[in-house]
Amino acid sequence: MPTKSRTLTRRPLWIISSYQNNRMETLTIGPELDGGFFAAFSYEKEAEAFLLLLEDDEKEKGWQSEQGTAKGLVSALLERCGARERCDSTLATGT
C-alpha cells in the first residue's frame, strides 16, 4: 500500500499559468505579501473555478489551468524563486 507522501507525489496538481514572450508565468496570489503565494490546486474543477473569479484585467493576461506533477510544481517554484536574491537564503535556511 502506498504511503501518503507517495500518493501526493503521483497525484496530478493544477497550477494557473500564462505564456508570454515564450516564457511561462505562474499566478501568485497576494503579491503585496512578500512575493505572494503560489496558486496550486488538487482538482481541475477548483482551478477552473478560481479562473472564473479573476478580475477582468487578470483575465486578459491569458491565465489557464495546467495539469502538472509535484516535480513540476517544485521546478516552477524554484524557477520563480530564482529571480529573487532573497529566495536563495530562504531556501538555504528554511525560513
Mean pLDDT across the chain, nearest whole number? 75
**So what's the pLDDT on residue 77?**
75
Task: Return left, alpha or beta for 35; rule: phi > 0 is left, psi -120 to 50 is alpha, else beta.
Answer: left
**What pLDDT was estimated at residue 13?**
87
Condensed to tens digits (0 to 9), the pLDDT of residues 22-63 reads 887 888 777 666 667 778 899 999 999 999 988 888 888 889
Q: Where are the domains of the chain?
A: 11-93
Distance set, CA 74 to CA 18, 51, 62 (Å): 17, 22, 23
Q: Find the Cα–Cα–Cα–Cα dihedral 76, 95, 41, 73, rounded to 10°.
A: 20
- Work out the angle at residue 62's Cα, subtended by the Cα atoms of residues 16 and 36, and round it to the nearest 5 degrees: 45
pTM (2 decimals)? 0.63
pLDDT value of residue 78: 77
